[in-house]
């Protein structure tokens, strides 16, 4: 694996899940990262990604440098040929080249603006780092995807699964702010690569991009979708059709215990952070149905497996 920018950088999902689970089961791991440095750049806030990635890198023996690029760095220009006479002080060409001398892997978090669909879908921040850096790039959540989270989610489902072919439902839930489609996009993509009965449920107007749904059943009735579900993955996202907008929804889509009644005592997942009693109710988050804390723990081992592969590939 040269980079981890999208899920297509993983050739066999099952193999990397096995590797992550094996790393989790071993307390003392080998140190293929000894003498190497991971540089992490955050253009947006984070708790789990920042700390689990640092932990994963250190478990592999790496040194870690972290920068809040939005607050502490120079404002970056990403346009080729730009006349930089405004607020942007440094071009990505120099920034990526310089960072490549300090770091052996560069990891970047850069959310979408949710105003210009074409610009967001071009993944200009991640792709500019890929273009101008001479070291591997890891996606810590970008405009359209969160592949480290998706790998974590797949590991977690495997750990808790008891069914031969589990029913997994990705459910939209309300949120006061316009959120990216990155997490549901990557979750939908990875579920299509596993042997699961995968259903997406969301209100009209919130269908994910056609190339993400890719023929997956979308059920606009949440109760129908939840019937016999083994796993319910809850997440808000803003509209793709009415790009980046929060639409009016008449029905209550908050996931509570009453909604879980028709499931197969479903395990409930969320990438976190979660707004209690808006996205998921207390009676679910505080119950045995919730596996969100276990899920967050798996971020470390998913990232460890990814970084290990990149280190092995760049030897
Ligand atoms: N799930 C996730 O990426 O969490 P953070 O935004 O806190 O990193």
Ligand 1 pocket, residue 47 CB under 6 Å: yes
Contacts of 246 by beta carbon, 8 Å cutoff, 6+ apart: 175, 176, 177, 178, 238, 239
Q: Does 148 belong to an annotated binding site? A: yes
Ligand 1 pocket, residue 141 CB under 6 Å: yes
What is the C-alpha separation between 207 and 240, in angstroms, rounded?
A: 7
Q: Which of 299, 302, 303 to mutate to test the pocket of ligand 1 (most atoms within 8 A of CB)?
A: 299
Specify the pLDDT at position 230: 98
183 alpha carbon – ligand 1 mean position (Å): 10
Ligand 1 pocket, residue 152 CB under 6 Å: no
273 alpha carbon – ligand 1 mean position (Å): 7
| 7-146+296-314 CATH, one of 3.40.50.720, 3.20.20.140, 3.90.1150.10, 3.40.50.1370 | 3.40.50.1370
Residue minimizing CA distance to atom 3 of ligand 1:
49
Ligand 1 pocket, residue 295 CB under 6 Å: no
Task: Report the 10 Å Cβ neighbour count for 153.
Answer: 27
Ligand 1 pocket, residue 49 CB under 6 Å: yes
Ligand 1 pocket, residue 46 CB under 6 Å: yes
- Judge residue 195's burial from the number of C-beta atoms within 10 Å of its C-beta, 0-12 exposed, 13-18 middle, 19 or more buried: exposed
Q: Give 10-residue mean pLDDT values along the chain (315 residues).
A: 97 97 83 97 98 98 97 95 97 98 98 98 98 98 98 98 98 98 98 98 98 96 98 98 95 97 98 98 98 98 98 90
Residue minimizing CA distance to atom 4 of ligand 1:
48
pTM for the complete prediction?
0.98
Where do the structural domains in the chain lie, given as residue ranges?
A: 7-146+296-314, 147-291
Ligand 1 pocket, residue 135 CB under 6 Å: no
Number of residues in the chain: 315
83 alpha carbon – ligand 1 mean position (Å): 35
Whether 147-291 and 7-146+296-314 are alike in CATH topology: the answer is yes
**CATH fold of 147-291:** Rossmann fold (3.40.50)
Q: Which helix (H) or strand (E) holds 105?
A: strand 105-109
The number of C-alpha atoms within 13 Å of 131 and in the hemisphere containing its C-beta is: 14
| Residue 40 structure tokens | 């992490």
Q: Does 313 belong to an annotated binding site? A: no
* CA max distance for the chain: 61
Q: What residues does 131 pair with on adjacent strands?
A: none
Which atom number of ligand 1 is nearest to the Cα of residue 272? 1
Which atom number of ligand 1 is nearest to the Cα of residue 140? 3
Residue minimizing CA distance to atom 1 of ligand 1:
271
Specify the pLDDT at position 311: 97
Specify the pLDDT at position 250: 86
Which atom number of ligand 1 is nearest to the Cα of residue 146? 3
198 alpha carbon – ligand 1 mean position (Å): 23
What is the C-alpha separation between 112 and 110, in angstroms, rounded?
A: 7
């Amino acid at each position: 694996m040269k980079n981890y920018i999208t899920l297509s950088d993983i050739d066999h999902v099952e193999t990397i899940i096995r590797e992550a689970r094996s790393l989790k089961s071993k307390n003392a791991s080998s140190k293929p990262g000894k003498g190497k440095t991971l540089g992490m750049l955050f253009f947006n806030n984070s708790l789990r990604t920042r700390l689990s990635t640092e932990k994963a890198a250190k478990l592999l023996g790496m040194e870690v440098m972290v920068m809040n690029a939005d607050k502490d760095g120079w404002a970056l220009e990403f346009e080729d040929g730009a006349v930089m006479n405004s607020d942007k002080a440094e071009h990505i060409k120099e920034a990526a080249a310089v960072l490549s001398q300090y770091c052996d892997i560069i990891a970047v978090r850069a959310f979408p603006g949710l105003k210009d669909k074409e610009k967001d879908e071009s993944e200009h921040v991640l792709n500019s780092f890929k273009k101008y850096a001479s070291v591997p790039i890891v996606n810590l959540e970008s405009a359209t995807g969160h592949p480290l989270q998706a790998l974590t989610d797949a590991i977690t489902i495997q750990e808790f699964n008891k069914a031969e072919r589990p029913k997994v439902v990705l459910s939209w839930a309300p949120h006061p702010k316009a959120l990216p489609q990155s997490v549901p996009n990557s979750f939908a993509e990875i579920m299509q690569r596993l042997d699961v009965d995968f259903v997406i449920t969301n209100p009209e107007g919130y269908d994910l991009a056609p190339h993400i749904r890719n023929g997956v059943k979308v059920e606009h009735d949440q109760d129908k979708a939840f019937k016999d579900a083994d796993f319910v993955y809850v997440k808000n996202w803003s509209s793709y059709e009415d790009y980046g907008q929060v639409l009016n929804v008449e029905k209550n889509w908050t996931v509570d215990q009453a909604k879980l009644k028709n499931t197969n005592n479903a395990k409930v997942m969320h990438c976190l952070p979660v707004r209690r009693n808006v996205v998921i109710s207390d009676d679910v988050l505080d119950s045995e149905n919730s596996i969100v804390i276990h899920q967050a723990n798996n971020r470390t081992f998913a990232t460890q497996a990814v970084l290990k592969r990149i280190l092995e590939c760049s030897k």
